[in-house]
Amino acid sequence: MIIALASDHGGFELKEKIKEHLEDRGYQIMDLGTNSNDSVHYPVYGRLCAETVASGEADLGVVCCGTGIGISIAANKVKGIRCGLCTSVEMAHLTKQHNNANMIALGGRTTDENLAIQIVDEWLDTEFEGGRHQTRVDMLDEM
């Protein structure tokens, strides 16, 4: 399982924590940047991570910016991407169970890093339910 990670400067430190945690869990990580606190543009990194997942180079993606909002908007513009912005463990559970989210977005300035790690773990450890939710996911993928 390969997980792609990307962030802007607002999510950089959180991305680094998530990277360390996922490597400890045994996942293969593709770190797509950014690599410092220097100001960059979140659409660049959201798109890069989303295209990496959509092309199959990575199985899943995690993106971080200050709030998670801008970078999730960017990711969701790429066909085949379902990026859920998560601010709670329940949202992480539901975005996999119902939306089969292949990416999640987190806010480095709005979500505590311990909660962010719990969110990532919950998303990874939850199964997609399928059934009626598959119909809706198919509708999303046709857009």
Active site residues: 65, 98
Q: How far is 129 from 94, CA to CA, in rounded Å?
A: 10
Q: Is 19 exposed, middle or buried (0-12, 13-18, 19+ CB in 10 A)?
A: middle
Residue of the chain from 42, 49, 53, 95 that contacts ligand RB5 (CB under 6 A): 42
Residue of the chain from 4, 5, 47, 66 that contacts ligand RB5 (CB under 6 A): 66
Write out 11-51 in H/E/C secondary structure.
HHHHHHHHHHHHHHCCCEEEECCCCCCCCCCHHHHHHHHHH
Nearest residue (CB) to ligand RB5, 100 versus 107: 107
Binding range to ligand RB5, per CB under 6 A, among 64-72, 80-88, 92-100, 115-123: 64-72
DSSP string, 63-77: EEESSSHHHHHHHTT
Binding range to ligand RB5, per CB under 6 A, among 15-23, 24-32, 63-71, 82-90: 63-71
Residue of the chain from 70, 76, 105, 122 that contacts ligand RB5 (CB under 6 A): 70
Q: Give yes or no for residue 10 binding ligand RB5 (CB under 6 A).
A: yes
Q: Give yes or no for residue 46 binding ligand RB5 (CB under 6 A).
A: no
